[in-house]
């Protein structure tokens, strides 16, 4: 009887191990194994979180939830890759309606006159196996300035929910809002704004001929 249970247990371990191996094969964490091609940001899993010093008392955090982006990825030649993004400035949110309304005024984002911010990469340089420096131009309130995003690759593979090939990475950069003409509250409110990006890109199977 004990021998019988031992065999069943062994089979169970084999099945579970096989599933784990299959999952590992499907989700690549080695950038060179990621598929090249045209990607589109999943709007449900892409946002920009920003943080700013609030008079030295705290770090205030908000986000932009309406972000669109495209990535043309050349894994063998990352420098040939391109990335562009558009941010709906009206999507700024802090969970405080009064503050959100103020951020949309001319004191800050002036969303009535500048409803969008844009980023266009000019170079993508590998730092190590799973991180890259993405340099490009950020246009905010009609002013364009160069910025560099430090991006970390998470993983890529078939998303088990929608069965689409997905590429995920996080990124961070810091800008000075005064460089873009946003001077309200200086110096009590911090000039430096840290931007954190979370992105899941879906491979455009049609564009890649699949």
Q: How many C-beta atoms surround the C-beta of residue 97 within 10 A? A: 9
Residue 13 lies in a domain: no
pLDDT (tens, 9 = 90+) of the chain, 210 residues, equals 444 333 333 333 333 334 443 444 456 666 668 999 999 999 999 999 999 999 999 999 999 999 999 999 998 898 899 999 999 999 999 999 999 999 999 999 999 999 999 999 999 998 988 899 999 999 999 999 999 999 999 999 999 999 999 999 999 999 999 999 999 999 999 999 999 999 999 999 876 655
Q: Are residues 38 and 72 in contact, defined by beta-carbon separation less than 8 angstroms? A: yes
Residue 133 lies in a domain: yes
Residue 135 sits in a domain whose CATH number is 2.40.128.110
Residue 195 lies in a domain: yes
Residue 150 lies in a domain: yes
Residue 5 lies in a domain: no
Residue 26 lies in a domain: no
Which single residue is written with the structure tokens 């000075």?
176
What is the spatial distance between Cα 65 and Cα 87, in angstroms, rounded to a whole number? 8
Q: What is the pLDDT of residues 28-63, one digit of tens each?
A: 666 668 999 999 999 999 999 999 999 999 999 999
Give the residue from 150, 151, 146, 135 showing the smallest Cα distance to 180.
146
pLDDT at 17: 37
pTM recorded for the entire structure? 0.83
What is the spatial distance between Cα 69 and Cα 120, in angstroms, rounded to a whole number? 10
Residue 23 lies in a domain: no
Q: Give the H or E element holding residue 132.
A: strand 131-140
Domain region containing 173: 31-203
What is the spatial distance between Cα 162 and Cα 76, in angstroms, rounded to a whole number? 27
Q: Count up the domains in the chain and report the number.
A: 1
What is the spatial distance between Cα 36 and Cα 71, in angstroms, rounded to a whole number? 10
Locate 203 and state its tokens.
Answer: 């491979």
Task: Render the burial of 70-86: b for 16+ CB within 10 Å, e for the rest.
Answer: bbbbeeeebeebebebb
């Amino acid at each position: 009887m004990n021998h019988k249970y031992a065999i069943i247990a062994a089979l169970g371990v084999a099945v579970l191990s096989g599933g784990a191996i299959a999952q590992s094969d499907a989700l690549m964490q080695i950038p060179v194994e990621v598929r090249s091609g045209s990607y589109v940001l999943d709007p449900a899993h892409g946002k920009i979180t920003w943080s700013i010093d609030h008079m030295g008392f705290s770090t205030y955090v908000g986000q932009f939830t309406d972000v669109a982006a495209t990535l043309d990825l050349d894994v063998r030649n990352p420098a040939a890759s391109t990335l562009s993004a558009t941010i709906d400035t009206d999507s700024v949110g802090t969970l405080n309606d009064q503050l959100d309304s103020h951020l949309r005024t001319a004191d800050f984002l002036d969303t009535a006159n500048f409803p969008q911010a844009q980023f266009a990469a000019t170079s993508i340089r590998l730092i190590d196996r799973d991180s890259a420096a993405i340099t490009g131009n950020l246009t905010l309130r009609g002013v364009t300035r160069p910025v560099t995003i430090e991006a970390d690759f998470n993983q890529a593979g078939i998303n088990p929910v929608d069965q689409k090939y997905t590429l995920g990475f996080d990124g961070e950069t810091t800008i000075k809002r005064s460089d873009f003409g946003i001077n309200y509250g200086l110096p009590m409110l911090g000039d430096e704004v840290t931007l954190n990006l979370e992105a899941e890109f879906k491979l455009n199977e049609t564009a890649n001929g699949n």
